[in-house]
Structure 1
């Protein structure tokens, strides 16, 4: 926790007001690109950014609307949406340019329930615009992006999440999904994976490995879906004030404490100096709630709007990763304001 009066003033209400005013007074919207394969968890990070910054300041463009073919047409042609030539990236670039100029853009909409395209929707520029999709970090879009995120789950996670979404939620057949996933594997390597080179943050997701650290036997049971998260972060040129991470060190010595791993290692990634931050297991609920509150105090939205009331004693590492991603984005906004 902060231990000086100076540290305590980092998240005062005047700072909150100035941040929201800063966003509203920007001459151009701040555009975030979030790229990754289908079912990789992009929307999870998109929703978290919107929730903690404020839905009145954030709008999202789903890039599925820029596919050239609907579901029936793809079933005939056999062309995967992962192929950049199967998407109207030139139209998206035009729309991003319109938004940067303060103009309304008419965004195409893909309906996942019907597999067809709905009528375009008018989008007025907001202080923050998120584009989310397979090719969000493609070269022809980079000049419009102020912050770039790439989400990369391991194959087992990608399969489980896509099965849950496409089969259990959207009603697609499991046989068709299996064929699609096998076909997509090489396409992903060919057309999508390289985008991590262009990212300010790469988010790599694995199933938890925390039990492997026990000696000799793990005495807890991690909940289903518990993840190990690796953030590869390019440091900001304009860092914000400190973001304290509170831990009860005394409680860590008890046998019933949440099992977790947290490390930060300076590294080189594709020729760039980065911090490689790894987190695994479950973090104390009070730690996550404290970080949420600090960020919400900084962004200035109402606490009840931003904080998810969670009853669990321990919170998964993915929650912590979302907060760190948002903080790094806020640093980017601060840097953009100084240019």
Structure 2
């Protein structure tokens, strides 16, 4: 039986570039090479698509230092995807030589230009199957403010928020009066907690807003909810199922920031979470509900806070391409559900293929 040709796409122009490289290395190592021929394609920080031949393409990805992960762009041909006769090939920009056809794309590209619908729209136009959510769901889920509107419309509880645009005026005192301190300041369309701060004073709020605007032209400022951080991966299409609930307990910082997420030992992730059965059932039900409402496909991960003050479950956001590094949450939940990482990736690819075949 011939092997499927998987294009493992990673990197990108966003602030989550290094996270993407780590996800890609973990995925590459776990994909069954008896079933798949893996074509590594990296997008550098300038947006150029580059071709690699082996896992060595990801420099220092196994060093344990996520900040030092690099994409090797030396002596690598830049490529472009071209669609012809219902197949997609990768063509060298320098000499027009065909680098090979692609059966399906597995995008491990996080953040803007990868997880926000732009890449998905391009792949849709080319007619090539890909894993994870489509253009609309990806764009919606990337926009935290829009996703919260959808969540609220289907009965999920969300924290009070204010949306700020970079060129618009705002009043610090009015923000504090509405939300109360502490306040969470987030770039509206970025993940991995890049550019996110928790502020406890007017001065910190000014600094947090200034920092956030380095990463996005729109910020979402949220009422801080003290409680337990819970997250739920959801897998499937027509009848999506919630995987086991995970509780996140940060160790290197007071909340689940970039270091807590990606540094080795940065947090304790308890799966299955030690929570009452009714809370477990409710959060899994809510996760599937938002997955369907946003229109997600194959896999996503929904994040919540279980309030210490009032016992409510507050929906935070849903991630359409959750991190798939060795330290990531979703592979841990899949393992508790009885799937090795390799089996989990097989299932993801099959879900995408089945979904795409229904469109033909």
Q: TM-score range by the shorter chain?
A: 0.3 to 0.5
Q: Which structure is higher in helix share?
A: 1
Please give the TM-score of this superposition, normalised by the length of structure 2: 0.35
Q: Which structure is higher in strand share?
A: 2
Q: Which has the higher contact order (CA 8 A, sep 6+)?
A: 1
